[in-house]
């Protein structure tokens, strides 16, 4: 997962939500470009400590270089309102066995991202949140398997129930 162009003052909650959504849907980690943000790293570390898993986060100063390097070993999926509709490409993406790097933007995404992407995928052709687009994409990619994910080392876990909130300690 790559979050392009994080701006600390403007995007801190959105980028944190991109990270948390990626983590909850089973991504191994997130790269981000733009402003380096120690608070974002702290948030991810604290969530991992409480809720388990080893989701990694790394700031990258040159996101286009990361994408070029990734393409040597895997495929790049750019979520954008300008791409091909998700239902038209999701089966092809699922069948491709190479590692995937999912890219979501922040401020204006340079044209080179569109050229480098193996798939430019639209969730809708209307303005929308990168967090929402990421969740819809990952849900479709995983076909709902995210509901069965387990996070090793969790201190807390939610006990599903029809009403109320129940969280229990696992240790």
Map out the domains of the chain with their CATH numbers.
2-169 (3.40.1280.10)
How confident is the model over 40-58, as pLDDT tens digits? 999 999 999 999 999 999 9
pLDDT at 106: 78
pLDDT at 1: 97
pLDDT at 43: 97
Q: What is the DSSP string of the chain?
A: -EEEEE-HHHHHHHHHHHHHHHHHTT--EEEEEES--HHHHHHHHHHHHHH----EEEE-S-HHHHHHHHTTTSEEEEEEEEEEEHHHHHHHHHH--S-EEEEE-SSPPPHHHHHH-SEEEES-SS---HHHHHHHHHHHHHTTGGGG---TT-SEEE---SSS--EEE--
Reported pTM: 0.95
How confident is the model over 25-34, as pLDDT tens digits? 999 999 999 9
pLDDT at 171: 76
Query: What's the order of all strands across the beta sheet hosting 100-104?
Result: 56-59, 29-34, 2-6, 100-104, 75-85, 119-122
Nearest residue to 34 via CA among 121, 107, 110: 107
Low pLDDT (below 70) residues in the chain: none
Tokens of 133: 């687009």
């Amino acid at each position: 997962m790559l979050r392009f162009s994080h701006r600390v003052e403007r995007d801190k909650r959105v980028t944190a939500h991109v990270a948390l959504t990626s983590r909850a849907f089973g991504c191994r980690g997130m790269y981000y470009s733009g402003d380096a943000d120690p608070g974002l790293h702290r948030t991810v570390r604290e969530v991992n400590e409480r809720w388990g898993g080893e989701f990694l986060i790394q700031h990258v100063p040159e996101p286009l270089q990361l994408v070029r390097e990734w393409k040597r070993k895997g495929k790049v999926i750019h979520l954008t309102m300008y791409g091909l509709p998700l239902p038209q490409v999701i089966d092809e993406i699922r069948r491709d066995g190479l590692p995937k790097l999912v890219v979501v933007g922040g401020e204006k995404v340079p044209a080179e991202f569109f050229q480098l992407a193996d798939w430019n995928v639209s969730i809708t052709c209307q303005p929308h949140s990168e967090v929402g687009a990421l969740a819809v994409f990952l849900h479709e990619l995983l076909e709902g398997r995210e509901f069965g994910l387990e996070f090793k080392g969790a201190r807390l876990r939610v006990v599903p129930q029809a009403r109320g909130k129940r969280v229990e300690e696992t240790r």
